[in-house]
Chain A
Amino acid sequence: MAVKAFSDEWAKQFKDEVNKSSVYKSAAKGWKWTVGLVVEAEPDKNFAEPKGVVMDLFDGEARDIRVGPAADAQKCDFVITAPYSRWKQVATGELDATKGMLQGKLKLKGDLPTIVRYTKASQEMTECTTRVPVEWPDEK
């Protein structure tokens, strides 16, 4: 059943998908930093308030993924920022996260050598988001 985009239910399903992935488990071995996704508001797309997704990822496991204020996500070790519609493109597989970062469509803040070392893990994490059926606010 589809869940509301960037809701608590979405975060739970996303976390489950990440923890089910053997590819992620192996590619993210050694990862020990928090990752924040900032979803910028786009009122014209029925996404009125910015949101933050805080991901506590450790050694191939998603220990916690929760949705809250954007400010919480901005405090993470790595922060990726994009407007709502860009994240929707990522979550529907329309935009590859690596390409998005190289093109500046997703803005990354954090230690570059570390994120580059874990490219495969971040790609698999993107794959995991595409496996969560989502009800998008601009498609209502």
Chain B
Amino acid sequence: MHDPRPSRMARRKVKAKTESRTVVYSDREPSAFASMLGGLIQANVENSAAKKKDFESLAAKVGIWVTDIDEGVTLDFHSGSLVVHNGLHGKRDITIRAEADTVMNLSNLKIGLFGMPVYYDEVGRGVAAKLLRGKLRIDGLLGNLATLNTVTRIFSVAG
């Protein structure tokens, strides 16, 4: 009940409103692909302490280009936050180019011992075969293998 006396003000603790800003979009209208990847990463990071740790350690610019729909995104990881851009932007550490199916399969790679993606099960073999056949191209792979593994772990919905 409201206390009318002037000296007895209600003292409700007001919490600073902390909006989750893990993933932000640089474009006013993020593309469907950008929203999907951003949403996927946000959900993964929120649901897994291991992925959150990876996310907080990752500082890299990663491009993903889907060759059969001619759309792409740039994921700009800043040690605990991510800016998603429509299209490929600026100098990137890694750029992945593949068809839509393969991009989805990258998210289905299982993570095995020592946090390494598993390439010997059905999904892994499929991804490796695409890499060998040139259907999956990873520019900047040399020198950024650890970054690629971290990104794969953050993406993965399979483990």
Contact = CB atoms under 8 A, between A and B. Distances in A.
Interface of A: 96, 98-99, 101-105, 107-108, 111-114, 116-117, 119, 123
B36 A111 contact: no
A104 B31 contact: yes
A121 to B, nearest CB: 11
B49 to A, nearest CB: 15
B40 interface: yes
A22 B69 CA distance: 29
Contacts of A113: 40, 43-44, 47, 157
Given A113-B47, A116-B157, A103 B108 contact: no
Contacts of B158: 117
B124 to A, nearest CB: 14
B100 A98 contact: yes
Nearest to A122: B104
Interface in B11-44: 31-33, 35-36, 39-40, 43-44
12 contacts: A99-B100, A101-B36, A102-B69, A103-B32, A103-B69, A104-B32, A113-B47, A116-B104, A117-B157, A117-B158, A119-B108, A123-B101
Nearest to B39: A112
Interface residues of B, number: 23
A99 B103 CA distance: 11
A123 B99 CA distance: 14
B43 A103 contact: no
Contacts of B71: 102-103
B3 interface: no
A98 B104 contact: yes
A96 B32 contact: no
Contacts of B40: 112-113, 116
Contact of B66 (A102, A104, A116): A102
B121 interface: no
Contacts of B100: 96, 98-99, 102
A72 B158 CA distance: 31
Contact of A116 (B31, B35, B68, B107): B107
Given A102-B71, A103-B71, A112 B32 contact: no
Most buried by A among B36, B68, B71: B36
A138 B40 CA distance: 37
Nearest 10 CB-CB pairs, A to B?
A104-B32, A113-B157, A119-B104, A112-B40, A117-B157, A102-B33, A99-B100, A112-B39, A116-B157, A116-B107
